[in-house]
Amino acid sequence: MKNSDRVNPFFAGRCQAKPVARTNCIQPVYAKLPRAPINTSPVPRLTSLYHHADTGAYGKRSYPGNCGGNLIRDLLQYFKPRLVLDPMTGSGTCQDVCKEIRVDCRSGDIHEGFDATSAEAMQSLADGELADFIWAHPPYWRQKLYAADERDLSRTLTLGSFLGRYAMFIEAVAGVLSPGGRFAILMGDYQDREAGFVPLVYHTKRLAFKAGLVQCCTDIVRFSHGASSSRKVYRSSFIPGLHDVCVVFEKPKLRKEVKP
* Among candidate residues 116, 126, 121, the one with its CA nearest the CA of residue 87: 116
Dump pLDDT digits (tens) for 101-112: 999 999 999 999
CA 129 from chain centre, in angstroms, equals: 23
CA atoms within 13 A on the CB side of 148: 0
Q: Does position 226 have pLDDT exceeding 90, yes or no?
A: no
Quickly list H helices, 55-105.
70-79, 93-101
Q: Put residue 7 in one of left, alpha, beta given phi > 0 → left and psi -120 to 50 → alpha.
A: beta
The neighbour count for residue 29, using CB atoms within 10 Å, is 10
Asked whether the CA dihedral 140, 143, 148, 151 is positive or negative, the reply is positive
CATH numbers and ranges of domains, the chain: 49-250 (3.40.50.150)
Average predicted confidence (pLDDT) for the chain: 85
pTM, 2 dp: 0.84
Rounded-to-integer distance, Cα 149 and Cα 141, Å: 14
Please provide residue 220's backbone torsions phi and psi, each rounded to the nearest 5 degrees.
-110, 110
- What are the Cα distances from residue 101, in Å, to 42, 72, 86? 14, 11, 15
Q: Provide the pLDDT for residue 4.
A: 40
- Per-residue DSSP letter, 98: H
Average pLDDT over residues 189-215: 95
Lowest average pLDDT, out of 30-34, 139-143, 163-167, 218-222, goes to: 30-34
pLDDT digits (tens, 9 = 90+) for 7-47: 343 333 333 334 444 455 566 677 778 889 999 999 999 99
Contacts of 61 (CB under 8 A, 6+ apart): 55, 68, 226
Instruction: Indicate the SS3 state at residue 48.
Output: coil
